[in-house]
Structure 1
Amino acid sequence: MHAMQYEITLPADYDMDVIRKRVADKGHLLDVHPGLGLKAYLIRERGRDGSPVNQYAPFYLWRTPEGMNGFLWGPGFRGLSADFGRPAVRHWLGAGVAHGTRAGAPAGATLETVRLPESADPAEAVERALAELPAHPALHTAAVAVDPSRWELLRFALWHGPAPQDAPGTRYQVLHLSSPELDRLPAGRHW
């Protein structure tokens, strides 16, 4: 499993309805993409949930590297790059997923990244993060991943409704969820 995200920060006065329309028109195109566990079409709006920026920041969990490559080298990413410029794509190796209640679509998401200190044992940090995956009635799906080039731990969660107040990380709105192979993502630890 691989986690991936890119962020497109938009001007402060940008009409976010443009992004909403783009997702409404094109979001369904990845609803059947091979190798895709999920794509959460995420936005942040300046002044909402403490966000200082307007941002389109989709998050992906890929079940296969072939699916991820097919997207990055395919027409979807080409179109996005043509419209907004080619964004830097962050990538993490997946460690595990927790499946919550999936009746209905998620409305909120949280994403937290933490640098692991040089003195930390990465395996212990991952085990601890997996053990701490939320067991909350509003949880849709949660994941843990690591970027070993920066020793950065990622915690991602999708929520029914807004994220709980005590959920750490950056808060997003979910405009659409494509999840063709979500049930095939590994639960718990994966390596």
Structure 2
Amino acid sequence: MHAMQYELTLPADYDMAVVRARVARIGHLLDDWEGLGFKTYLIRERGVHGSPVNQYAPFYLWNTVEGMNTFLWGGAFQGLSNDFGRPSVRQWTGLSYEEGGAAGSPARSAVRRSEPVPEGAELAELMADAVGTAERLAEEDGALFVASAVDTARWEVVHFSLWTQETPKADGDVFEVLHVSAPGRERLPRGRQW
């Protein structure tokens, strides 16, 4: 499992209806993308849920590197780059994936929480804690799924969760979900990834 996200931070007075219309028009194009576990089309609006910015920030979980590479190098990502400029694409190695009791329900919000891996930390213990965090969050009411992953270049763990309610039961950056493409969700490996 591979996690990926890019963020397009937009001007403070940007009309987010433009992003909403774009997702309504093209969001379905990844509904059957080979190798994709799911893509969540996410936005943050300045002043909503404490967001300091307007932002379009899709989050992906990939079943295969080939699917991810086809998206990035095969033309789909180029369209976004042509319209908004090419963003940096963050990638994380999967640690854990858990489905919550609300799996399959409509998603309203997502939360991303990042935490640094301290220098000198016992890596096995810290990664096991990240798995435990995913398990605990998945048990919360309204949880659709939770993924934990690690960026070993920045030594950062990210916890990403999807929720049925507008105000989720997790700490971190809160996003509104505009659409979810989940062609390979059932093939995402559950639990610890090592």
**TM-score class normalised by the smaller sequence:** over 0.9
TM-score of the two chains, using structure 2 as the length reference: 0.95
Matched, 1:178 2:165: no
**Distance in structure 1 (CA, Å) of the matches to 2:63 and 2:90:** 16
Equivalence map 1:4-83=2 (5 Å): 4-83=4-83
Aligned residue pairs, count: 190
Percent of matched pairs sharing the same residue: 54
Equivalent residues of 2:95, 2:130 under 8 A apart: no
Amino acid at match of 1:50: G
Q: CA deviation at 1:68?
A: 0.3
Once superposed, what is the RMSD of the aligned Cα atoms? Answer: 0.9
Runs of 4+ in 1 over 2 A off after TM superposition: none
Q: Look up the match of 2:191.
A: 188
Select which of 164, 168, 171 maps to 2:171: 168
Amino acid at match of 1:132: T
Q: CA deviation at 1:26?
A: 0.3
Matched, 1:107 2:111: no
Q: Look up the match of 1:149.
A: 153
- Secondary structure of the structure 1 residue equivalent to 2:23: helix
Residue-by-residue CA offset, 1:113-153 (whole Å, 9 max, x unaligned) = 11110121222111111112211120001000001111110
Amino acid at match of 2:185: L
Equivalent residues of 2:16, 2:54 under 8 A apart: yes
TM-score of the two chains, using structure 1 as the length reference: 0.97
Q: CA deviation at 1:18?
A: 0.5
